[in-house]
Amino acid sequence: MRYLRLLLLALLIQPSLAFSASSTCPEVSDYGCLVKNSLQVYREGFEQWWKIYNHTAERAKRCENFKDVTLFLRLWSGDTDGEMAEGLASDTEEILTKNNRCFFEGLLGLPKQERAAFISHYCPLTEPEPIAKALKQAMKNLRYKSMATQLLHRVEGEQCK
């Protein structure tokens, strides 16, 4: 009877180990790890992927530091698919339309390769009018003009329709 209880206890504990947080990126604050290992973390435990992602997205939306937005935008150069990409696009649109200065300063913080990856991959999920309006406003700033122009051409072009 004693062995039966131990066996039952072992069986009850074992499934919980299979659903534990990602061992690849165990810290919620380690967004850099998520960028490098996005799909692997999602496969290991999508709950952990979303915890890390949401932690960084909220910091980027608050925009207390442009570096938070830069860090958030780095995922555009990482591997995402489906639901992950949808969340990323939605939160990016929110930052762009609500605080385009913060968005563009964050974008400027990316290395040129990652900035180019963002510009070549970005397409809005929602109606493009508010995004186009934010981009046209940003074009008035010489620091942002080139990036805003490229993004506007992409948003209004055939590749995003």
Q: How confident is the model at residue 72 (pLDDT cuts 50, 70, 90)?
A: very high
Q: How far are the Cα atoms of 11, 86, 131 from residue 98, in angstroms, in the given order?
A: 50, 18, 10
State what percent of residues in the chain have pLDDT above 70.
Answer: 86
State what percent of residues in the chain have pLDDT above 90.
Answer: 51
Q: What is the pLDDT of residue 22?
A: 57
Q: How confident is the model at residue 144 (pLDDT cuts 50, 70, 90)?
A: very high
| CA–CA gap between residue 55 and residue 48 (Å, rounded) | 11
- Supply the mean pLDDT for the chain: 84
Domain boundaries, the chain: 25-160
Which one has a higher pLDDT value, 157 or 16?
A: 157
Asked if 77 and 117 touch (Cβ cutoff 8 Å), the reply is yes
Which one has a higher pLDDT value, 34 or 142?
A: 142
Please state whether the predicted TM-score (pTM) of the whole model is above 0.85. Answer: no
Where is average pLDDT lowest: 87-91, 118-122, 157-161?
A: 157-161
Which one has a higher pLDDT value, 139 or 29?
A: 139
Q: Where are the alpha helices (DSSP H) in the chain?
A: 2-18, 31-36, 38-44, 46-62, 66-73, 83-98, 100-108, 112-121, 129-138, 145-156
Q: What is the mean pLDDT of residues 60-78?
A: 92
Residue 8: strand, helix, or coil: helix
pLDDT digits (tens, 9 = 90+) for 8-42: 444 444 443 344 455 888 888 888 888 888 888 88
